[in-house]
């Protein structure tokens, strides 16, 4: 590492898992670059981290749905002489509703934020990591990437399955040069995610044992990528769910998924 302290870039840092990653990595002595759309939240978090941990916190406001966002972020990093050692690809959201009832531009933005942007960030930053023979990439995926897709969030599980396979390949290609990649796969996590998708009231009916805090998810994720795990599912309950679906015949798994998904999605328009 060429810098006095390791530098972590966290996307979607303004809330939830992203904020928890920023706090956890700052507590480990990392300088941080915080990116998201909400400048005020990022600036508040940056001030907190500087004051609490004495580290450097840089804010870059951007919208990853913009096709040029990643290039602009990396250009800003280059201009400031910042070399990223840890990349946390966390930005994401869900698009509720039946596939054909959502306008295509909404789906296109979703693809850019959850798949294209994190892939491009990894592509642009991993070369420097390889040259320095040190790097960590955490792609925040989901338990949803391991189980059958559900109605009402048509692209979500598909995008997370992509991130899992992408992370596995990155891990295989780069582990020998000191660069670890990990797909972090949480289940239900206490954050703003379900407020954004309008499913908070339904989520509140789920039992407490199904939930983790963002802080728990992040700590498990940091430990996993340091160990060199290419894929890691957080929480005992979530790992049990993954194992259960893996053992089931496909038809049975799809039937069970269809029944359970009705508990936490809004109803379609007919």
pLDDT tens track for 43-73: 999 999 999 999 999 999 999 999 999 999 9
pLDDT digits (tens, 9 = 90+) for 148-182: 888 888 999 999 999 999 999 999 999 999 999 99
pLDDT digits (tens, 9 = 90+) for 76-104: 999 999 999 999 999 999 999 999 999 99
Structural domains in the chain, sorted by start: 7-264 (3.40.50.720)
SS3 call for 221: helix
Is residue 232 annotated as part of the catalytic site, yes or no? no
**Residue 247 binned pLDDT confidence (cut-offs 50, 70, 90):** confident
Q: Which residues, other chains included, contact 99 with Cβ-Cβ below 8 Å and sequence gap of 6+?
A: 107, 154, 155
List the strands of the sheet with 31-36, edge to edge. Answer: 57-61, 31-36, 7-11, 86-89, 135-140, 179-185, 231-233
Q: With a cut of 90, say whether residue 191 has pLDDT above it.
A: no
Q: Which of 156, 209, 232, 264 is catalytic?
A: 156
- In this prediction the pTM is 0.88
pLDDT of residue 139: 98
Q: How far apart are CA 142 and CA 7, in angstroms?
A: 25
For tokens 């339904």, name the residue: 202
Q: Which residues pair with 33 in a beta bridge?
A: 9, 58
* DSSP β-ladder status, 57-61 and 179-185: unpaired
pLDDT of residue 169: 98
More confident residue, 10 or 191: 10
């Amino acid at each position: 590492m060429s810098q006095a302290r390791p530098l972590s870039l966290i996307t979607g840092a303004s809330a939830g898992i992203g904020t928890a990653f920023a706090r956890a990595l700052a507590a480990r002595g990392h300088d941080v670059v915080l990116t998201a759309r909400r400048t005020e939240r990022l600036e508040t978090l940056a001030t907190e981290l500087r004051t609490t941990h004495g580290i450097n916190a840089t804010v870059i406001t951007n919208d990853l749905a913009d096709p040029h966002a990643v290039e602009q972020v990396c250009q800003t990093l280059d201009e400031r002489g910042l070399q990223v050692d840890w990349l946390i690809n966390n930005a994401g959201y869900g698009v509720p509703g039946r596939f054909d009832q959502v306008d295509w531009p909404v789906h296109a933005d979703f693809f850019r934020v959850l798949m294209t942007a994190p892939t491009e960030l990894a592509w642009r930053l991993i070369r420097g990591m390889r040259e320095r023979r040190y790097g960590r990439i955490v792609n925040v995926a989901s338990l949803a990437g391991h189980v059958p897709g559900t109605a009402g969030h048509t692209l979500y599980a598909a995008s997370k399955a992509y991130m899992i396979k992408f992370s596995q390949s990155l891990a295989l290609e780069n582990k020998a040069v000191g660069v670890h990649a990990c797909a972090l796969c949480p289940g239900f996590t206490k954050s703003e995610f379900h407020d954004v998708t309008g499913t908070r009231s339904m989520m509140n009916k789920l039992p407490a044992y199904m939930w983790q805090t963002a802080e728990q998810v992040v700590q498990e994720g940091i430990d996993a990528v340091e160990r060199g795990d290419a894929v890691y599912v957080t929480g005992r309950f979530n790992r049990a769910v993954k194992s259960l679906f893996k053992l089931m015949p496909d038809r049975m798994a799809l039937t069970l998924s269809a029944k359970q998904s009705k508990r936490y999605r809004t109803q379609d328009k007919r």
